[in-house]
Amino acid sequence: MVIGTTIFYLDGNAYHSPTFSRGGLAATFSVDVTHLSLGAGVGLGIEVQHRNDEDTTWSSAGTFSSITSVDTYSKDISGLKENVRFVYTFQGGTPTALEAAHFLMMAPSWRPY
């Protein structure tokens, strides 16, 4: 069994995670990147987006620093709205169809604020 998510650059469009409800007003989000295939100057971008039920558009709650190596990364974000999702992109440099990443998004560590 393979655990985690694998994404490829393909046509350059962003990947979106399923939407989930927040568990607190703030959280630490962590990702364990286990495999990367990146061109020169290209990084994996992970953005945390949020919105309330009545909102019609998503807004950025925070962004991980560009990921360029296999490791575990964390991002602390506060002031979260009701619904949360992740957006994954390949950014920088000149991405080709060879970019790929395999990672495991950990369960958020929620807190009141």
How far apart are alpha carbons 20 and 101 in whole angstroms?
22
Beta bridge partner(s), residue 105? 31
pTM of the complete model beyond 0.85: yes
Residues 6-27: what's their mean pLDDT? 94
Structure tokens at 66: 């560009």
User: Computed over its alpha carbons, how large is the radius of gyration of the chain?
Assistant: 14
For the chain, give the percent of residues with pLDDT over 70: 100
Planar angle of CA 86, 3, 11, nearest 5 degrees: 50
Q: What is the pLDDT of residues 31-84, one digit of tens each?
A: 999 999 998 889 999 999 999 999 999 999 999 999 999 999 999 999 999 999
